[in-house]
Amino acid sequence: MDRLGFLVEEVEALKEQGLYNTIRTIASAQGAWFEVDGRRVLNLCSNNYLGFADHPRLKAAAKRAIDAFGVGPGAVRSISGTQSLHLELEQRLATFKGTEATILLQAGFSANLAVLPLLVGPEDVIFSDELNHASIIDGCRLSRAKVVRYTHSDPDSLRQQLADHSQARRRLVVTDGVFSMDGDIAPLPALLEVAAEFDALTMVDDAHGEGVMGAGGRGIVDHYGLVGRIDVEVGTLSKAFGVMGGFVSGSAALIEYMKQRGRPFLFSTGLTPADTGAALEAVKILEESDEPVRRLWENTHYFRSGLKALGFDTGHSGTPIIPVMVGDARQSAELSRRLFAGRVFAQSIAFPTVPRGKARIRVMNSAVHSREDLDFALAGFEKAGRELGLI
């Protein structure tokens, strides 16, 4: 008897509903163009916002780190795996973000899992934006606090929910900085104001704002001029920083406690020397010049206005993440397939990553694209969009 047969049925059901995730194979470095399933295609779906994933300085730094420290840290950081390179990167990131301290985790996902259960427990309430990332949702579940979802980016909904739960021992308001599927930006100042009315803790996950928003890519908190006023900032090294890893920035007390009790810190090995050395180099580049960030935004503005001029619905995006709204999952998958046939790789996103009926092509802009690349992509969107009657 096949006890796992139900999984095969589940996969078949996904295929029937147009929700099956086709995972393509990449045979070259991330860049403006790369090799996918044997074809050279324009890359419009990577989080490599600044081109750092294949940057010569990051690659050289990774090699130097391997030469000095080897390929693995050897143990969890609390036993014998904390290398001087980890401490150097933590210090540098804290300075870059304008916070007292920073702790590195293995990924942005683990950063959320690490910090949320330390802030709140069963006697507390978390107020979570209804569109928050899966890693926030999972971190909330691990904390065993009551979770209340407020209407997306709506301070009035948040105020109502806080008023309804004012008796909790602690209240925590948590939001994505940039929403990863819509590219819209959380109204942090208004959320912070409401949180202050109820003496609630505040936390922002800035995975898509790091290296993208704020002065020289310092993130959404800097963008709004709120440095020092958010209790917990989660970041990732896996997107604009081009590498792999996550971090939490905040007060010295928060970071000290995370080193004592953060489970992914204590029970899972830390970042590799190559990741750490390369990420350190990324911070140095951003400190030296805002040129990569400026190029990213120039490309973003050009591409978004090009899509709009063609008649596409680009939702509420205010960042380099641009959703091209389609609605039906099958039609969105077909648009992605036709784009790929024209050598433009832009991924279709459907349920459960976004709500049912809100399927879209998610375009990721990058500083590495030339104007010719963007015009090529717009021509591809125009052709496929017309064929499918979307424009």
Ligand X SMILES: Cc1ncc(COP(=O)(O)O)c(C=O)c1O
Name the residues that contact ligand X, by CB under 6 A: 107-109, 133, 135, 176, 180, 205, 207-208, 236, 238, 246
Q: Which is nearer to ligand X, 210 or 373 (CB)?
A: 210
- Which residue shows structure tokens 């969105």? 332
Q: Which is nearer to ligand X, 232 or 384 (CB)?
A: 232
Q: Which two tokens stand for residue 57?
A: 């300085």
Minimum Å distance from CB 271 to ligand X?
Answer: 11
Is-catalytic flag, 157? no
Q: Which helix (H) or strand (E) holds 352?
A: none
Is-catalytic flag, 239? yes
How far is Cα 196 from Cα 202, in angstroms, rounded to an integer?
9
Half-sphere exposure of residue 92: CA atoms within 13 angstroms, side-chain side: 18
How far is Cα 69 from Cα 77, in angstroms, rounded to an integer?
14
Measure CA of the first residue to CA of the last residue in the chain; give whole Å: 51
Q: Which is nearer to ligand X, 135 or 374 (CB)?
A: 135
Q: Which is nearer to ligand X, 51 or 177 (CB)?
A: 177
CA angle 217, 61, 266 (to 5 degrees): 75
Q: Which two tokens stand for residue 369?
A: 């694209």
Is-catalytic flag, 59? no
Q: Which is nearer to ligand X, 178 or 377 (CB)?
A: 178
Minimum Å distance from CB 109 to ligand X?
Answer: 4
Minimum Å distance from CB 166 to ligand X?
Answer: 28
* Backbone φ and ψ of 250, nearest 5°: 170, -150
Minimum Å distance from CB 133 to ligand X?
Answer: 4
One of 97, 239, 358, 369 is an active-site residue; which one? 239
Minimum Å distance from CB 150 to ligand X?
Answer: 17
Q: Which is nearer to ligand X, 137 or 391 (CB)?
A: 137
Q: Which two tokens stand for residue 205?
A: 């996950």
Closest CA to 322 of 290, 274, 365: 365
Closest CA to 208 of 194, 216, 219, 197: 219
One of 55, 86, 97, 208 is an active-site residue; which one? 208
Q: Which helix (H) or strand (E) holds 332?
A: helix 329-341
Minimum Å distance from CB 51 to ligand X?
Answer: 18
**Quick one: how far is CA 23 from the chain centroid?**
19
Catalytic residues: 180, 208, 239
